[in-house]
Chain A
């Protein structure tokens, strides 16, 4: 298989882009990535465009967005396809792009992931996102993704002794990182006093899905991110201004659609299996990873995923958070971008956004105050559904 490298990255500022057309939001990030690679004028030499998007048909009443994107960017007749894998659509698009290059079918692939979710009201958006659940056994019952986040959190608390304050510590950490990230939706720090310890904390930090509170839940965001992938072994890889960041491992796995059908609903088998496959592909182990972007749509998932990928023993990750081990200056910084909690979560774009953060950190281009010291390997986990389709990505500096 060919070595696949990332030579260009692009990212919109996450937040509210509801006044814009989804194609324009995707095109902005794609143009950014092509400019970063000094390839904008040669964009028709791209062999393949892959777009990750979860629900443009619902959120924007728009379909065939990959076709719209290439036309918006004057890239015809470059082939373009859409990849949909729920909130893991972005990382799945990267995986398909990787497969296109590694197989030899393409040398240069533009991967774009994005979503515009805020054209609809919050309650309509919550309903749309919930359609990824099992139609008869979950969605029709009235269940939503935050409902599963809440039930998962309660199970974890009752088994391992996690407290609501521990979840608030994650929010404080991730908001501190996001406050320094120019792309983050919420660029504001928060304090433990304001959201957990102070007299007004229960008002500031209200329940969303008990015991999950607002500061343990990601915002609804619009935005897009993009990568330019190249075959590092091809002559076409020469001439890019920045050294490629190599995709060392990428893998995905699935789990039962219904959460209740998992033998132990607290075990995220798809995360564990995807990570194991990515480690094997990269010939790496968890202790080799310098930093990670983990899909904290609900703060509990940062903890549970960090355990499934082997960073911490099961039920022990929140003890490491208490000690600051996952802070920027800690032993293993997690969600250096601010994570979904602070950077935001435009569902189909998140996986690509996580990869952009890996590249920025590995290039040493993250903002002052949130740059990890000399990282070598970064890992991202993009979590689809409630853990029933997960992609793990490992990027390497060399």
Chain B
């Protein structure tokens, strides 16, 4: 039987990190917990857990970038910094018609191959 599972559509995710010793949460991954100094081993992950960083967020600032770097073919792109309900913040792409600081957004993650190198998971914040 031919196994087609490799062609299954993957749902891209971006992970945030929780220190199980003190409960502090981080994005992106730290090597040491700044609250309790617990070490995170990126290979075993022992003492830490990950969770998907997603859901409702608030726009803190944004820009429309006109001089895009190598790999991007669009004329311009919107980027923003958001804050999630758990207090974590992230930077990513923005897809809204009329961005306003403070607006409520929803975080999604897509796989992007625009940057040079292997495809990567990218935040896209939408309304």
**Chain A residues at the B interface, C-beta cutoff of 8 Å:** 122-124, 126-127, 130, 134, 136-144, 146-147, 150-152, 154-155, 158, 206-212, 258-261, 265
Q: Which of B61, B65, B123 contacts A155 (CB 8 A)?
A: B61
A154 touches B63 (CB 8 A): yes
CB B112 to nearest CB in A, in angstroms, measures 7
| B104: Cβ under 8 A from any A Cβ | no
- Kindly report which residue of chain A lies nearest to residue B27, judged by CB atoms: A137
Is A260 a contact partner of B90 (Cβ separation < 8 A)? yes
Please report the number of residue pairs spanning A and B whose Cβ atoms sit closer than 8 angstroms.
Answer: 107
Q: Which of B61, B64, B77, B116 has the most CB of A within 10 A?
A: B61
**Counting CB contacts under 8 A, is B38 at the interface?**
no
Q: Name which of B77, B79, B114 has the most chain A CB atoms within 10 A of its CB.
A: B79
* 14 A-B pairs (CB sep. < 8 Å): A134-B28, A137-B90, A140-B122, A141-B91, A141-B93, A142-B68, A142-B77, A142-B93, A144-B69, A151-B80, A152-B61, A210-B63, A210-B66, A261-B89
A-binding residues in B (CB < 8 A): 27-28, 60-72, 77, 79-81, 89-93, 101, 112, 114-116, 120-123
Max chain A Cβ within 10 angstroms of own Cβ: one of B65, B69, B90, B115:
B69
Which among A127, A209, A259 is the interface contact of B71 at CB below 8 angstroms? A127
Q: In whole Å, how far is B86's beta carbon from the nearest beta carbon of chain A?
A: 14
Residue of A nearest to B78 (CB): A210
Q: Give Cα distance in the complex from A259 to B81, angstroms.
A: 9
Q: Residues of A contacting B64 with CB < 8 Å? A: 150, 207, 209-210
Chain A residues with Cβ below 8 Å from B123 are: 141
Give chain A nearest CB distance to B8 CB in angstroms: 23
Q: Which residue of A lies closest to B72 (CB)?
A: A142
Q: Are B61 and A144 in contact (CB under 8 A)?
A: no
Q: A142-B115, A151-B80, A152-B61 are in contact. Are A126 and B67 (CB under 8 A)?
A: yes
Q: How far is the CB of B24 from chain A (nearest CB, A)?
A: 13
A150-B71 Cα distance, complex, nearest whole Å: 21
Residues of B within 8 A of A122 (CB): 67
Given contact pairs A154-B101, A210-B63, A260-B90, A143 touches B79 in the complex (Cβ within 8 A)? yes
Inside 8 A of B28's CB, which chain A residues have their CB? 134, 136-137, 258
Shortest Cβ distance from B102 into A: residue: A158
Q: Across the interface, name the chain B residue whose C-beta is closest to A217.
A: B67
Asked whether B79 lies within 8 Å of A141 as measured between CB atoms, the reply is: yes
State how many angstroms separate the Cβ of A47 from the closest Cβ of chain B: 37
Find out whether the CB atom of A147 lies under 8 angstroms from the CB atom of B120. no
Chain A contacts of B80 at CB under 8 A? 151
Task: Give the CA-CA distance A147 to B120 in the complex, in Å.
Answer: 19
Residue of B nearest to A121 (CB): B70
Chain B residues near A259: list those with CB within 8 A: 81, 91
Question: Are A154 and B91 touching (Cβ within 8 A)?
Answer: no
| B69 with A126: CB separation less than 8 A | yes
Q: Once the chains are docked, how many angstroms separate the CA of A124 from the CA of B91?
A: 22
Query: Which B residues are CB-close (under 8 A) to A143?
Result: 79, 91
List of B residues within 8 angstroms of A211 by Cβ: 63
Say how far A203's CB is from chain B's closest CB, in angstroms. Answer: 13
A206: B residues at CB distance < 8 A:
66
Contacts of B81 in A (CB 8 A): 151, 259-260, 265
A144 contacts B65, CB within 8 Å? yes
Residue of B nearest to A153 (CB): B63
Q: Which of B92, B93, B101, B116 makes the CB contact (< 8 A) with A127?
A: B116
